[in-house]
């Protein structure tokens, strides 16, 4: 970039000194005027041919130089600004207002001019020169322009500040290219870091890592700075001493054949090993031969592949070991697979029945029966087509003719798979159906026998009911006879004046008699049948909630007589000296 040099500054100082001397005094002679004019012409000629816009001011801020490039940049003629009052008019073409510029910062270097520096995007001092960048909104028909400028003070022979000079260059195109380059770099870096695979750029000669993306750091656990200090062998879980498996061998392969893809066991910063898939190719980057590597963590994919293989083996085992026949077929009716049980059941394999049409023809040789089976089958197919959410068809039972012409009763269920294929399960229920028929026959025989037994049972129930009635009548007759023919005489004996020994015999007779008739009393709910008729009548009234006063009125007896009978009732029922309510007890035993 062109800047004011020492010769230009010295010329300008001479011109300025002579101009001042001319203003302060008359020229001493024709030679002085001639020299001043020649120096002025020389200075203007020099700055006019410079490609940068240049202008200068004296120590009072008046413009003393304004070259053609400045006229072209600002649209202001030299004669319109030279020797104007020091009012920062030279700033108007750039900013639309009067304000100090970089040239003023150079002229007043010893003064506080921080407010001027704040108007620039970038300011740098080098010795007496000041460099800066800024944006001038008034240039280019007010579209604005990015400017680079350098300003320096003008000194006289004594080193005193007599003015300043500034060179300005329009760097709009450079800025636009820089912005475009920066945006391109940002886009590249954004895409580079957004890729889900790790990207590693290797120097092909040194095998050192030149650049990596963010995914590489996350995958291997390194920071960007740490990654740039590594080489590929640091990322490999395979020892580099093994010449066949080292990265050196890979480099040779890629050099011979690019691109090259392989799987590799890598390791992260913590030493954890995992499988990656690498795609490598040679590329020319920044004029150097580079190796571009994309790495994808396939550890989960490998585990998934193992899991899928395991599931495949398990499915194969299940289908082959299944106790029923299995057929896979596609939407066109082509049979894809039949299991071992199917072959055992029917004797057919895929060579015998490559499709559904062949199966129907061989399994159902009777045309009429075959047409009925096909009709039912097409109903299921139509149901699958109408309702795509339907997965399982109806269970059908048909008689199938095997390869050896034997017939078997088979249960069919068809299932539509998410892949659009179909799974058909076939179960041999011949023995089950024969057993069901035998069971049906036995059931009919049992139904006849059961009907006969029911009639016999009804007759026995009638006989048992009559026997029970006879038994109840006998027990009732015995109890009544004891109460009417025996108990009154025992009561009379107890009231007669018998000796102690005879009274003992009477008590024994009464106790044994009660033990004999006790089972009858419990079954008939007549436990109090040994009571006298009067006591039974009073007991019934007590059971029904009658009070002593009510019983006296009903039986026309005194209260003392009622209490006497109550005590006898409690004594005969075994409630004497017990805190048991007589009415509650009578309700519980009757």
Q: How far apart are CA 150 and CA 164, in angstroms?
A: 11
Answer whether CATH 3.60.21.10 is correct for domain 322-427: no
Asked whether residue 525 carries a pLDDT value surpassing 50, the answer given is no
- Cβ contact 57:162 at 8 Å: no
Determine phi and psi for 164, rounding to 5 degrees. -155, 160
Q: Specify the 3-state DSSP secondary structure of 280.
A: strand
Identify the DSSP state of 262.
E
Asked whether residue 34 carries a pLDDT value surpassing 80, the answer given is no
Question: For the ranges 142-151, 184-193, 244-253, 412-421, which has the lowest average pLDDT?
Answer: 244-253
pLDDT, residue 15, reads 45
- Residue 125 has, within 13 A of its CA and on its CB side, a CA count of 8
- Cβ contact 92:76 at 8 Å: no
pLDDT, residue 37, reads 46
Tokens 């009578």, located at residue: 586
**Average pLDDT, stretch 228-252?**
68
Asked whether residue 3 carries a pLDDT value surpassing 80, the answer given is no
User: What are 73-105's pLDDT values in tens digits?
Assistant: 988 888 888 876 678 888 889 988 888 888 888
Tokens 């004011």, located at residue: 4
pLDDT band at residue 348 using 50, 70 and 90 as cut-offs: very high
Burial string for 259-293 (b: 16+ CB within 10 Å, else e) reads: ebeeebebbbeeeeebbbbbebebeeeeeeebbbb
Question: For the ranges 242-251, 337-346, 410-419, which has the lowest average pLDDT?
Answer: 242-251
Asked whether residue 270 carries a pLDDT value surpassing 70, the answer given is yes
Q: Do domains 322-427 and 493-589 have the same CATH topology?
A: no
Residues listed for the chain: 590
- Cβ contact 541:554 at 8 Å: yes
Asked whether residue 29 carries a pLDDT value surpassing 60, the answer given is no
pLDDT band at residue 168 using 50, 70 and 90 as cut-offs: very high
Question: For the ranges 131-140, 399-408, 550-559, which has the lowest average pLDDT?
Answer: 550-559
**Average pLDDT, stretch 492-517?**
78
Mean pLDDT of the chain, nearest integer: 81
More confident residue, 401 or 42: 401
Sheet with 129-136: strands ordered across: 63-66, 53-58, 161-170, 145-155, 129-136, 122-126
Element housing 198 (H / E): strand 198-203
- Cβ contact 524:479 at 8 Å: yes
Nearest CA to 326 among 308, 347, 351, 343? 343
Q: Specify the 3-state DSSP secondary structure of 319.
A: helix
pLDDT, residue 27, reads 43
Superfamily in which the 195-303 domain is placed by CATH:
PAS domain (3.30.450.20)
Asked whether residue 558 carries a pLDDT value surpassing 50, the answer given is yes
- Cβ contact 22:120 at 8 Å: no
Highest mean pLDDT among 31-35, 38-42, 233-237, 563-567: 563-567
Asked whether residue 131 carries a pLDDT value surpassing 60, the answer given is yes
- Cβ contact 155:106 at 8 Å: no
Q: How far apart are CA 141 and CA 164, in angstroms?
A: 28
- Cβ contact 342:327 at 8 Å: yes
CA dist list (Å): 119 to 102, 147, 220, 478: 10, 13, 47, 137
pLDDT, residue 239, reads 65
| Residue 387 token pair | 């309702």
| Residue 107 token pair | 């002229």
CATH architecture of the domain with residue range 493-589: Orthogonal Bundle (1.10)
- Cβ contact 171:133 at 8 Å: yes
Asked whether residue 518 carries a pLDDT value surpassing 80, the answer given is no
**Average pLDDT, stretch 548-569?**
87
Nearest CA to 54 among 72, 71, 66, 40? 66
Tokens 């995992």, located at residue: 274
pLDDT, residue 283, reads 82
Q: Specify the 3-state DSSP secondary structure of 8.
A: helix
Question: For the ranges 96-100, 198-202, 236-240, which has the lowest average pLDDT?
Answer: 236-240
The pTM of this model reads: 0.44
Q: How far apart are CA 151 and CA 125, in angstroms?
A: 10
High-pLDDT (> 90) share of the chain, % = 17
pLDDT band at residue 459 using 50, 70 and 90 as cut-offs: confident
- Residue 312 has, within 13 A of its CA and on its CB side, a CA count of 6
Domain boundaries, the chain: 6-171, 195-303, 322-427, 493-589
- Strand-pair partners of 397: 411
Q: How far apart are CA 390 and CA 254, in angstroms?
A: 53
CA dist list (Å): 301 to 218, 277, 296, 306, 312: 18, 10, 10, 9, 16
| Residue 463 token pair | 């006989």
Asked whether residue 252 carries a pLDDT value surpassing 90, the answer given is no
CATH architecture of the domain with residue range 6-171: 2-Layer Sandwich (3.30)
Highest mean pLDDT among 393-397, 438-442, 501-505: 438-442
Q: Interior CA angle at 37 toward 32 and 43, to 5°? A: 125
| Residue 67 token pair | 């070259």
User: What are 214-226's pLDDT values in tens digits?
Assistant: 999 999 999 999 9
- Cβ contact 216:200 at 8 Å: yes
Nearest CA to 147 among 155, 138, 156? 138
Asked whether residue 5 carries a pLDDT value surpassing 60, the answer given is no
Asked whether residue 563 carries a pLDDT value surpassing 80, the answer given is yes
């Amino acid at each position: 970039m062109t800047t004011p040099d020492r010769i230009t500054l010295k010329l300008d100082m001479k011109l300025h000194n002579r101009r001042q001397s001319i203003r302060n005094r008359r020229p001493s002679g024709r030679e002085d005027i001639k020299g001043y004019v020649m120096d002025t012409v020389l200075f203007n000629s020099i700055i006019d041919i410079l490609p940068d816009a240049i202008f200068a001011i004296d120590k009072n801020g008046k413009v003393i130089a304004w070259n053609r490039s400045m006229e072209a940049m600002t649209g202001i003629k030299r004669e319109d600004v030279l020797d104007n009052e020091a009012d920062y008019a030279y700033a108007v073409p750039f900013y639309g207002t009067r304000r100090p510029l970089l040239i003023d910062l150079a002229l007043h270097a010893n003064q506080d001019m921080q407010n001027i520096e704040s108007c620039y995007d970038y300011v740098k001092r080098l010795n007496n020169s000041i460099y800066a960048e800024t944006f001038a909104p008034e240039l280019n028909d007010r579209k604005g322009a990015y400017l680079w400028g350098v300003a320096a003070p003008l000194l006289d022979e004594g080193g005193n500040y007599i003015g300043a000079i500034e060179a300005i260059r329009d760097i709009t195109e450079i800025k636009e290219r820089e912005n475009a380059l920066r945006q391109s770099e940002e886009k590249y870096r954004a895409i580079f870091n957004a890729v889900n695979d790790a990207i590693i750029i290797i120097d092909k000669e040194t095998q050192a890592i030149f650049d990596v993306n963010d995914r590489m750091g996350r995958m291997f656990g390194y920071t960007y700075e740490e990654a740039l200090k590594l080489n590929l062998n640091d990322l490999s879980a395979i020892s580099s001493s093994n010449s066949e498996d080292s990265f050196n061998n890979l480099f040779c392969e890629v050099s011979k054949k690019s691109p090259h893809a392989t799987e590799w066991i890598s390791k992260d910063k913590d030493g954890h090993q995992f499988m990656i898939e690498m795609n490598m190719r040679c590329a020319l980057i920044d004029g150097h031969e580079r190796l571009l590597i994309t790495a994808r963590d396939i550890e989960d994919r490998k585990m998934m592949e193992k899991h899928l293989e395991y599931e495949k083996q398990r499915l194969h085992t299940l289908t082959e070991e299944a106790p029923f026949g299995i057929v896979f077929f596609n939407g066109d009716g082509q049979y894809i697979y039949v299991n071992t049980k199917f072959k055992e059941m029917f004797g057919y394999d895929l060579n015998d029945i490559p499709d559904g049409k062949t199966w129907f023809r061989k399994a159902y040789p009777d045309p009429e029966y075959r047409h009925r089976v096909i009709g039912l089958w097409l109903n299921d197919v139509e149901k699958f087509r109408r309702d795509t959410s339907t997965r399982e068809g109806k269970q059908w039972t048909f008689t199938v003719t095997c390869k050896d012409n034997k017939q078997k009763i088979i249960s069919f269920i068809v299932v539509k798979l998410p892949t659009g294929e179909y799974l058909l399960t076939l179960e041999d229920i011949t023995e089950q159906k024969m057993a069901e028929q035998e069971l049906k026959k036995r059931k009919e025989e049992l139904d006849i026998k059961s009907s006969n037994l029911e009639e016999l049972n009804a007759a026995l129930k009638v006989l048992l009911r009559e026997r029970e009635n006879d038994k109840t009548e006998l027990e009732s007759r015995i109890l009544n006879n004891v109460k009417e023919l025996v108990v009154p005489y025992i009561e009379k004996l107890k009231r007669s004046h018998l000796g102690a020994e005879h009274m003992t015999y009477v008590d024994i007779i009464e106790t044994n008699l009660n033990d004999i008739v006790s089972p009858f009393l419990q079954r008939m709910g007549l436990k109090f049948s040994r009571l006298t008729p009067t006591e039974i009548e009073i007991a019934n009234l007590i059971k029904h909630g009658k009070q002593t006063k009510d019983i006296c009125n009903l039986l026309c007896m005194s209260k003392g007589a009622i209490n006497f009978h109550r005590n006898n009732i409690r004594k005969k029922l075994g409630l004497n000296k017990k805190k048991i309510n007589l009415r509650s007890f009578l309700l519980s035993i009757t």
